[in-house]
Amino acid sequence: EVIDTSGGCGASFAIEIVSEQFEGKRLLERHRLVNAALEEEMKQIHALSIKKALTTGQWKQQQESEKSSSAA
């Protein structure tokens, strides 16, 4: 998910990203992967906040947890 936090100018974003490539990697390593993947885009962006960087399994677990919390 990409959220424009710049008020419309497109220079500041918050993201939540899910990737199998994060498997077995620490949070810092995950952030480095994201920054490397967005290297060209980062030249145009003032600020990028990575709110969540989850593996597919972590994301599924989070979704199940949220469903059971809202059902209670």
- CATH numbers and ranges of domains, the chain: 2-70 (3.30.300.90)
What does the alpha-carbon distance between residue 64 and residue 60 come to, in Å, rounded to a whole number? 6
Which two tokens mark 15? 């993201």
pTM over 0.95: no
36 CB-near residues (< 8 Å, 6+ apart): none
- What CA–CA distance (Å, rounded) separates 34 from 44? 15
Q: Are strands 2-4 and 47-54 parallel, antiparallel or unpaired?
A: unpaired
Contact 13, 4 (CB under 8 A): yes
Per run of 10 residues, the mean pLDDT along the chain (length 72 residues) is 85 94 97 94 90 96 88 70
Please give the pLDDT value at position 56: 95
